[in-house]
Chain A
């Protein structure tokens, strides 16, 4: 075992833990999976490790994708040839999904159009970074380290507070913290709960829900595939057959991860929309 003194920080502890495992012995994934070594600009705040590289690639890919889709759309509107091809159809369906079934359904036409840029960005950014968790050479989700979920949750937080203040002015805080229809004596109980749940727990759970889903999914996938490698190459005799079982489970779980990637993008966007809607709602 490793003896840790008081001065050892988290990163040293993690690297010591990973160095402990010997060759030929099974090493289960640890949290060190999410702290790969930096290969560029090491030591500066801008250091690039594998996860940051994946995020940058996804960002460029999303920009290129959207540019292609909107360019094609603009050209097709100009020439009057409005029947989309397959690639264009994919883009239009995805964008329309966010627009119709999330923004317009929850917020109505006018407010839906107002907040659509943020909601589209959140949906595609979360989906793009989640799906790299199963893409063969990336194999880790860009959202599995706290930065991206935190930033997106902060954006959603600022937006719903902005929406509330724009619609109701400072009465927004009074309406959310002191809901109407409650006897005055109960405010000592209700207001702290409302403060906690509306202004503290909403952004925290938005970020944590996305982050933990991606962390848990990644750890399970790494466990399945490293177990498969261990069984096929380092085990003796009949236990090698267990490798087939873990490989099959790995395949099944990869499919499940695709579902989780889409679902988490949808849930994040939907929750942001619902928070905006609740902030915009008038008093009964």
Chain B
């Protein structure tokens, strides 16, 4: 017996893929920044040093979201 389509979706799964890929880095960047805010509140004199480390953390966690953005173009 042939397979029966009971529902059909059309669109680009790459978009769904990117949406899923953006969940992790979104939470990750939120965690990094929130921890930095907390630490600055505890020790304001270290604010400069902590800010630099925060930018590093953001760059690393955001890299995955950006690779997720690149994959539809790679697997064109």
* A28 smallest CB distance to B (angstroms): 12
**Interchain CA distance A161-B73 in the complex, whole Å:** 30
User: Which chain B residues border A205 with CB–CB below 8 Å?
Assistant: 63, 67
CB of A212 within 8 A of CB of B52, answer: no
**Interchain CA distance A92-B10 in the complex, whole Å:** 56
CB of A31 within 8 A of CB of B59, answer: no
- Asked whether any CB of chain A lies closer than 8 Å to the CB of B47, the reply is no
**Interchain CA distance A205-B56 in the complex, whole Å:** 13
User: Which chain B residues border A266 with CB–CB below 8 Å?
Assistant: 55
- Asked whether any CB of chain B lies closer than 8 Å to the CB of A89, the reply is no
CB of A270 within 8 A of CB of B56, answer: yes
Interface size on A, residues (CB 8 A): 18
Partner of A212 from the list B55, B66, B76 (CB cut-off 8 Å) is: B66
5 contacts across the A-B interface (CB closer than 8 A): A105-B52, A209-B59, A216-B66, A263-B55, A267-B56
Query: Which of A55-111 touch B at CB < 8 Å?
Result: 101, 105
* A144 smallest CB distance to B (angstroms): 12
User: Which chain A residues border B52 with CB–CB below 8 Å?
Assistant: 101, 105, 270
> A interface vs B, CB < 8 Å?
10, 31, 101, 105, 205, 208-209, 211-213, 215-216, 263, 266-267, 270-271, 274
CB of B55 within 8 A of CB of A267, answer: yes
Taking chain B's interface residues, is the majority helix, strand, or loop, or is none over half, making it mixed?
helix
Interface size on B, residues (CB 8 A): 13
* A132 smallest CB distance to B (angstroms): 20
* A169 smallest CB distance to B (angstroms): 28
User: Which chain B residues border A31 with CB–CB below 8 Å?
Assistant: 73
Q: With CB as the reference atom, state the residue of chain A lying closest to B67.
A: A208
CB of B56 within 8 A of CB of A274, answer: yes
CB of B69 within 8 A of CB of A212, answer: yes
CB of A208 within 8 A of CB of B63, answer: yes
CB of A267 within 8 A of CB of B76, answer: no
Q: With CB as the reference atom, state the residue of chain A lying closest to B59.
A: A267
CB of B69 within 8 A of CB of A209, answer: no
User: Which residue among A101, A209, A263, A270 has the maximum number of chain B CB atoms within 10 Å of its CB?
Assistant: A209
The digit string for B9-51, where 1 denotes a CB below 8 A from any CB of A, is 0000000000000000000000000000000000000000000
* B15 smallest CB distance to A (angstroms): 12
Known A10-B76, A31-B73; contact A209-B66, beta-carbon cutoff 8 A? yes
* A123 smallest CB distance to B (angstroms): 14
Q: Which 6 A-B pairs have the closest CB atoms?
A: A212-B66, A205-B63, A267-B59, A212-B69, A209-B63, A212-B70
User: Which chain B residues border A263 with CB–CB below 8 Å?
Assistant: 55
